[in-house]
């Protein structure tokens, strides 16, 4: 596979590289890092030819957007595709918030769920300011788990208006809930979705219905959670993360079985994880996040690695991936 091949993202017309850069690490996921380290991560992505950057106000309470914008300043706006999110407003905190797994060090802000029309418009303007840009290409409705009605009635209406005005190119939802994405796909006109932790080597919840529905409706998929929050990259070791928490024993056992098979073919689990997701024709691109410049390079090279067809056949034979899940080299690819 070519990680820098550009594909059209759904109905948006946007051309994005098959590997993008996710922004949660830029905001301090699992602990903050220096601004300069974040800048180097973004510069590395640009130097490699990655053109898709996905961030959110939530990530570091605005840090991810600000830091990303500091590097993108001076880069021709047509050279990259920029995605961010709405649905969580940043408001001043009464006192510094404690350290947590998403926001890094103490923050002067707290987040408030608000998918109202006015809140979405305010969030969009605030993101433009933090990013230092005059437009955002993709705007995701972010994690509307308990707010579907407001999200489809108000947030979606706001995004449609922004798209009609040319302020954004793509209307999207970013969430890991397959059932809700199916409802959004059936009830709205979406250009793309950001699907998180619902299609990878460990989770194929989106395979039976959502991905075919998106293909039918021309909705492009940006896939997050390629490494299932880390375990498919780090392996089944002590402290491995799965869906942002310590991996349960059942998941550890399954990953160990995959690792044993991969070792027999000289395959790295991270390469298999990346290529498995990209093999599905509904998936336009993956957006792995990292805090390390070297990992940006690695994430690109993982997609280029040669993986024997026998490896995928053995995973299928041993029930570790569904028979119907596309893999690299399948005819439909």
Q: Which of 80, 85, 147, 243 is catalytic?
A: 85
Instruction: For residue 63, indicate whether it is catalytic.
Output: no
45 token code pair: 């992505």
Helix axes 293-304, 269-278, angle to 10 degrees: 70
Strand-strand pairing, 245-246 and 241-242: antiparallel
- Does the annotation count 85 as an active-site position? yes
Catalytic residue among 59, 109, 147, 156: 59
Q: Which of 162, 160, 147 is nearest to 116 (CA)?
A: 147
Establish whether 11 is a catalytic residue.
no
CA distance linking residue 233 with residue 163, whole number of Å: 37
Three state DSSP letters for the chain: CCCCCEEECCCCCCEEECECEECCHHHCCCCCCCHHHHHHHHHHHHHHCCCEEECCCCCCCCHHHHHHHHHHCCCCHHHCEEEEEECEEEEEEEEEECCECCCECCEEEEEEECCCHHHHHHHHHHHHHHHCCCCCCEEEEECCCCCHHHHHHHHHHHHHHHHHCCCCCEEEEEECCHHHHHHHHHHCCCCEEEEECCCCCCCCCCCCCHHHHHHHHCCEEEEECCCHHHHHHHCCCCCCEECCEECCHHHHHHHHHHHHHHHHHCCCHHHHHHHHHHCCCCEEEECCECCCHHHHHHHHHHHHCCCCHHHHHHHHHCCCCCCCCCCCCCCCC
How many residues can be counted in the chain?
333
Catalytic residue among 54, 114, 137, 191: 54
The residues that are catalytic are 54, 59, 85
């Amino acid at each position: 596979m070519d990680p820098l091949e550009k594909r059209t993202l759904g109905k948006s017309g946007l051309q994005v590289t098959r590997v993008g850069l996710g922004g949660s690490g830029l905001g301090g996921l699992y602990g903050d890092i220096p601004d300069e380290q974040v800048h180097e991560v973004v510069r590395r992505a640009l130097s490699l030819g990655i053109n898709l950057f996905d961030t959110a106000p939530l990530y570091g309470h605005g840090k991810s957007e600000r830091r990303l914008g500091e590097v993108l300043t001076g880069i021709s706006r047509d050279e990259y595709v920029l995605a961010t999110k709405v649905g969580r407003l940043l408001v001043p905190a009464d006192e510094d918030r404690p350290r947590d797994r998403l926001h890094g060090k103490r923050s002067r802000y707290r987040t408030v769920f608000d998918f109202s029309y006015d809140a979405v418009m305010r969030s969009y303007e605030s993101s433009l300011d933090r990013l230092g840009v005059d437009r955002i290409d993709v705007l995701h409705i972010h994690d509307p788990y308990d707010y579907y009605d407001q999200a489809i009635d108000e947030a979606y209406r706001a995004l449609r208006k922004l798209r009609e005005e040319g302020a954004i190119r793509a209307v999207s939802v970013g969430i890991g809930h397959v059932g809700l994405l199916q409802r959004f796909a059936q009830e709205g006109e979406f250009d793309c979705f950001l699907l998180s932790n619902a299609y990878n080597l460990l989770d194929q919840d989106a395979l039976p219905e959502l991905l075919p529905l998106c293909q039918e409706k021309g909705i492009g998929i940006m896939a997050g959670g390629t490494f299932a929050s880390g375990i498919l990259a780090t392996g089944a070791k002590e402290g491995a993360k799965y869906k942002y928490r310590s991996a349960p024993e059942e998941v550890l056992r399954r990953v160990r079985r995959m690792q044993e098979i991969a070792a027999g073919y000289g395959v790295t689990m991270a390469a298999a994880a990346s290529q498995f997701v990209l093999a599905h024709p509904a998936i336009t691109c993956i957006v792995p996040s990292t805090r390390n410049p070297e990992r940006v390079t690695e994430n690109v090279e993982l997609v280029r690695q040669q993986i024997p067809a026998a490896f995928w056949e053995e995973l299928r034979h041993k029930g570790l991936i569904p028979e119907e899940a596309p893999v690299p080299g399948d005819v439909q690819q």
